[in-house]
Structure 1
Amino acid sequence: MSAAPPPQAFRAFDDTDAYLFREGTHSRLHERLGAHLAADGQGASFAVWAPNATSVSVIGDWNDWNGHADPLAPRADSTGVWKGRCPGARHGQAYKYRITAQGGRVLEKADPLACFAEQPPATASRIWSLDYTWGDAGWMQQRAGRNAADAPVAIYEVHAGSWRRKDGQPMGWRDLAHALADYVASIGFTHIELMPVTEHPFYGSWGYQTTGYFAPTSRYGTPQDFMYFVDHLHQRGIGVLLDWVPSHFPTDPHGLASFDGTHLYEHADPRQGFHPEWNSAIFNYGRNEVRSFLMSSGLFWLDRYHLDGLRVDAVASMLYLDYARQGGSWIPNRHGGRENLEAIQFLQDLNRATYRDHPDTFTVAEESTAWPQVSRPTDMGGLGFGMKWNMGWMHDTLAYMREDPVHRRYHHHRLTFSMVYAFSENFVLPLSHDEVVYGKGSLINKMPGDEWQQFANLRLLLSYMWAHPGKKLLFMGGEFAQRREWTHEGELDWDSLQSERHRGVQHLVGELNRLLRDEPALHELDFSSDGFLWLEPNDHEQSVVAFLRRSRTAGPVLVVCNMTPVPRQNYCVGVPVDGTWTEILNSDARVFGGSGWGNLGAVRASPMRSHGQPHSVCLTLPPLSTLFLKVVADDQQTPGA
């Protein structure tokens, strides 16, 4: 075992903590509960919430797992917190709590507040210090601007164990830090989003069945290794988001379920406490101590690991009492409705605490229904998230793109409907892991036509996505058109990049990210209707759409999409500004694997009124393509892509 780093200061759970804990507003339980090394490294203090236990002791490596060697004592109040000191405990040693339930049943549980765990399939917690010397001060000072609503945000979603492997095994955090940072920087993504790295017993759950809400999985290294990972990406100018799962948890015997012999963290009634879709337990958000536990977990990752935000998983399953349930298998709220009032309060409390303590971070809801005001402030009645995944855009757009282009004229509304509600929330446009698993096929394989048309369609989809209002999220492999559906075993099909067409898609994504950063019109007003203007939404016969993206600080960008493989010449679109409109990106350019149709780099506007604008440009629309054009001063003009 490696030598212990210096321990962090520890203050015992006191009366103020007890008050906040029972009130449901404690957001720093990780500083009070769990295992904490003594200042000299000799011994450790332990504290655990088990209000219905008749006895609790700590068993571990130092006492030969003897349940009588290190008993804990209950606090002299009604909090249900047991505490004590184990002089023989040392850094790195494994431990559990031995809990005697009412009736005499003995349970051995991992520490809910543990910051590290044994590597699965072992299930014990480890005593660990979280001391680390950070080198990301520059990023932390500027990240408010990087995470702002008017910033360019393009997120690369990553599963740490299957992005790239080393000698057939998942990379450790330190190796992954360098490889991933180099790659993400070269493609131009502004952030990565990690699928859950909280400790989980079953690798095949991808982290969504969490047992360690304060512990990065030991599969890839120590907590300090994960800190190094975040630190290094920050030093390379890349934000790090965490997919976090407060909606449900597995029922493994060492975990939270029946923790002290009673349904402590979960509801006792399976109509409230059991999730039929995921075969897991549901948190009891009506119990204040559970809300404190979850709130502390969320803020812990922002505090101790400098993470830049949380993507909160399965919010819809938290909001609705009848989620994935048949009639009669759920219990209405006190008003007779299906809204989970306690979960609503928890989400509002979580977001208030997050923006209070870490205002330069952001939270994102994966919410798949039309619940109102998900990304609006809590004092307006909203849930308080910074952003929300736009699942409607994703479903409609993929359904449209699956259609053979000859039939797209009959489905034009799927392409344009998202703009009806595009500014009702602060949206992220997600093409996530959920769209390329379980038989759904990869992005490229969703596209219709022969191989050339499939790649052209994918370039069209990605370019349209980057032009559409909203922040962007793309799951790994989509950026180079991986053919194979994603699996958590193995790594991405990097050999695909030997193909010119796959390299072309990758190059396009890099150029889209560059354009997103360079053009304020493509990001500054993502969440405001002032940033978007339809020019041509109704040309369903030719399956063409045209619109302007606008900014407060720079000129507009014209976007025209031809959703068919038929090139269209002399297609005229109204524009607000006279001058030469330069092609700043053409998804059909040969450098991206396209056919090379276009406008020779630029086109001159004419004083012909059209689409409510005083001028027009008459364009050649390449097949299955997106064009981006803007007026560029003569000394700033660059060749078309």
Structure 2
Amino acid sequence: MGEQEALRTFGTGENFHVKDYLGSHAVVRDGEEGFVFRVWAPNAQAVQVIGDFTDWKERPLELIRNEGGVWEGFSTLPQEGNLYKYLVTRASGHQVEKIDPFASYHEARPGTATFIRKEQERKWKDGLWMGRRKRFGFKQRPVNIYEVHANSWKNKPDGQPMTFKELTEELIPYLVEMNYTHVEFMPLMAHPLGMSWGYQLMSYFAFEHTYGTPEDFQEFVEACHLNNIGVLVDWVPGHFTQNDDALAYYDGTPTFEYEDHDRAHNYRWGALNFDIGKNQVQSFLISSALYWIEHFHIDGIRVDAVSNMLYLDYDDGPWKPNKDGGNRNYEGYYFLQKLNAVVKKFHPDVMMIAEESTAATPITQSIADGGLGFDYKWNMGWMNDILKFYESDPIYRQYDFNLVTFSFMYAFNENFVLPFSHDEVVHGKKSLMHKMWGDRYNQFAGLRNLYTYQICHPGKKLLFMGSEYGQFLEWKFNHELEWSNLEDQMNAKMRHFTADLNQFYKDHKALWQIDDSYAGIEIIDADNKAESVLSFIRQNDKGEFLVCVFNMVPVERKNFTIGLPQAGIYEEILNTELEVYGGVWKETNPQTRTQPGKWKDYDHTLSFTLPALGASVWKIKRRLKK
């Protein structure tokens, strides 16, 4: 794309690779090698480049404004590895040093200068993975995500966070050992404060310096793919940090943010909201998403805080109704449709996931049908209900049994991810382990039961780091996980259980091949409130099925009976109360033959011992005619 066309489409919201035009780029002009600098600051009085190659403010490079509000200049002085900023003279005459919004790598915090870089095209070695991804997609594949905060998964011996070079050596073998299919990272884009966990971004193309270099992350993704692990990244297109040296009021006027003060300011999070109705902002954000997909080969993006982009009254501050008198943010609605349409046009095999907490807008329906076109939505209702249930005293669970069963009423209204994320183990909410009812033994039993329910319930899966082995303390963003917990036998057995459960999920197509319609599930009994037992069948497209039974109270039930559609000899293939997992059972139930007999709408029954606060999963060993 030529420079004039790049400028024109940036202004019309149709330049989806705008980083190729804006920012700093190595070029040859009039036979001389140098760097061109371009930045969008339409209402600035003047813009200069300052850096170590200009002795900072001693000999600044003057830029010239074009008709699209982009300032441009060329210099032969910069060398790769030099640092620079933009010195913006705002409309008021006040000068401010600003980041390059299109930088790919900044200096270490608290500095914000950008490195001069000649980005080389990587020769990727993950062609087999990318080919399989394109051929098979993800909807009829297992998706079991391990959510990670890169800064606090594990530290180096000196207490410093690991870079992705070290995470390649440490985290990837762990993901393989634990049998996860995907890893998802909280935002990896440059941010000024670790306390924000990465959700207050200052730079949308730059890799956070704390985590190493962009090349380190490319190598990490490639290594994941070579180990059959997908990589997802969180992304925040709704709001950004209000630090004055970043995007905020870039040229002294509302540039990336809304003109309306209340719409621009996100009072709840102390941030600024993007004006996502502005063409240049749309080009900027969609280019950011595609850059991470294409430059780093990531397999999916989780879009954070979608509700904040959809509803004018989502924030705590004052708001004005839209032109129709409602609370719908039309700009946000149409932007998200556009984002998904563009990503799917270029990369239909990349997963687009929405973190969205309401039910007022169809999130995963097609754009043609009025939806936003996401592939998945986090099922926050399921997560809230199920955690409330498992936190409660078993004596009262029969009265709240609908918390477990209600999700089957809406399980396929959207395509869901079932998340136990970082948000549930911080700010006094306690760890998942600590949420569980009872003494330490029963807490582990409850946790195994909960994870099995998540795995067997329709929908893709997500679990936050540390939860896999039952870390007792809450997550701390500035402290590594409590790996010393694994010296405790119960925690070690819990991790072993989670690894086996993850492999169990991958091994059984019935758990993931049809997880977006009622064709993949048949409820056996959701009415046994008195005993607090839930049972259902999961099946694949060949009619192979698993029988999943959950005892939600600490009472062992001998000779427990359920109805089944198929006569046969059944074997128990998963029992959460085995000793090897931290329970008390030395072995599973024996193979059991069904008996003829009417049970609800079924003509066959299966009787077995149901473990206390345990889950039991059965598979047919041999079919019988009667």
TM-score range, shorter chain: over 0.9
Q: 1:429 aligns with which of 410, 413, 418?
A: 418
The residue type equivalent to 1:596 in the other structure is W
Aligned-partner Cα distance in 2 for 1:434–1:528? 28
Aligned-partner Cα distance in 1 for 2:220–2:32? 26
Aligned to 1:36, the other structure's residue is in SS state strand
Give the aligned partner of residue 576 of structure 2. 587
Aligned to 1:171, the other structure's residue is in SS state coil
Shift of the 90–371 alpha-carbon distance from structure 1 to 2, 3 Å rule, reads farther
1:512-540 CA distance string (max 9 Å, x none): 11111111110011111111111100111
Aligned to 1:83, the other structure's residue is in SS state strand
> Structure 1 length as normaliser, TM-score?
0.94
Shift of the 295–419 alpha-carbon distance from structure 1 to 2, 3 Å rule, reads same
Query: Contact 2:92–2:252 (CA<8 Å) still a contact in 1?
Result: no
Query: Contact 2:578–2:588 (CA<8 Å) still a contact in 1?
Result: no
Q: 1:365 aligns with which of 354, 364, 373?
A: 354
Q: Is 1:150 matched up with 2:137?
A: no
Query: Contact 2:189–2:204 (CA<8 Å) still a contact in 1?
Result: yes
Aligned-partner Cα distance in 1 for 2:137–2:505? 14
Aligned-partner Cα distance in 1 for 2:264–2:60? 35
Aligned to 2:45, the other structure's residue is in SS state strand
1:133-192 CA distance string (max 9 Å, x none): 322111111123564211100000001111011111111111101211100001100000
Shift of residue 12, structure 1, vs aligned partner: 5.8
Q: Is 1:485 matched up with 2:474?
A: yes
Q: Is 1:286 matched up with 2:277?
A: yes
Q: Is 1:312 matched up with 2:303?
A: yes
Q: Is 1:497 matched up with 2:476?
A: no
Aligned-partner Cα distance in 2 for 1:612–1:44? 75
Shift of the 54–282 alpha-carbon distance from structure 1 to 2, 3 Å rule, reads same
Aligned-partner Cα distance in 1 for 2:80–2:2? 19
Shift of the 261–426 alpha-carbon distance from structure 1 to 2, 3 Å rule, reads same
Shift of residue 598, structure 1, vs aligned partner: 7.0
Q: Is 1:564 matched up with 2:534?
A: no
Q: Number of aligned residue pairs: give it.
A: 619
Aligned to 1:632, the other structure's residue is in SS state strand
List runs of 5+ in structure 1 lacking aligned partners.
Answer: 1-10, 635-641
1:110-129 equivalences under 5 Å are 110-129=99-118
Give the aligned partner of residue 267 of structure 1. 258
Aligned-partner Cα distance in 2 for 1:599–1:629? 11
The residue type equivalent to 1:232 in the other structure is A
Q: Is 1:38 matched up with 2:27?
A: yes
Give the aligned partner of residue 229 of structure 2. 238
Shift of the 460–98 alpha-carbon distance from structure 1 to 2, 3 Å rule, reads same
Q: Is 1:257 matched up with 2:248?
A: yes
Aligned to 1:552, the other structure's residue is in SS state coil
Query: Contact 2:249–2:255 (CA<8 Å) still a contact in 1?
Result: yes
Aligned-partner Cα distance in 2 for 1:414–1:378? 31
Shift of residue 113, structure 1, vs aligned partner: 0.6
Q: Which aligned segments of 4 or more residues in structure 1 are displaced greater than 6 angstroms?
A: none
1:71-470 equivalences under 5 Å are 71-75=62-66, 77=67, 79-131=68-120, 132-144=122-134, 147-167=137-157, 168-325=159-316, 329-470=318-459
Give the aligned partner of residue 529 of structure 1. 518
Aligned-partner Cα distance in 2 for 1:574–1:462? 24
Shift of the 611–34 alpha-carbon distance from structure 1 to 2, 3 Å rule, reads farther
The residue type equivalent to 1:150 in the other structure is Q
Aligned-partner Cα distance in 1 for 2:10–2:184? 30
Query: Contact 1:74–1:83 (CA<8 Å) still a contact in 2?
Result: yes
1:513-524 equivalences under 5 Å are 513-524=502-513
Aligned-partner Cα distance in 2 for 1:67–1:285? 37
Aligned-partner Cα distance in 2 for 1:505–1:13? 57
Using the TM superposition, name which of 79-88 and 151-160 deviates more. Answer: 79-88
Shift of the 170–463 alpha-carbon distance from structure 1 to 2, 3 Å rule, reads same
> Structure 2 length as normaliser, TM-score?
0.96
Aligned to 1:584, the other structure's residue is in SS state strand
Q: Is 1:18 matched up with 2:11?
A: no
Q: Is 1:62 matched up with 2:69?
A: no
Aligned to 2:292, the other structure's residue is in SS state helix
Shift of residue 42, structure 1, vs aligned partner: 4.2
Shift of the 257–358 alpha-carbon distance from structure 1 to 2, 3 Å rule, reads same
The residue type equivalent to 1:310 in the other structure is I
Shift of residue 43, structure 1, vs aligned partner: 2.0
Query: Contact 2:184–2:231 (CA<8 Å) still a contact in 1?
Result: yes
1:224-245 CA distance string (max 9 Å, x none): 1111111111111110000001
Shift of the 122–41 alpha-carbon distance from structure 1 to 2, 3 Å rule, reads farther
Aligned-partner Cα distance in 2 for 1:364–1:147? 14
Percent of matched pairs sharing the same residue: 42
1:373-424 CA distance string (max 9 Å, x none): 2011111110010100000000000000010111101100101001110000
Query: Contact 2:101–2:204 (CA<8 Å) still a contact in 1?
Result: yes
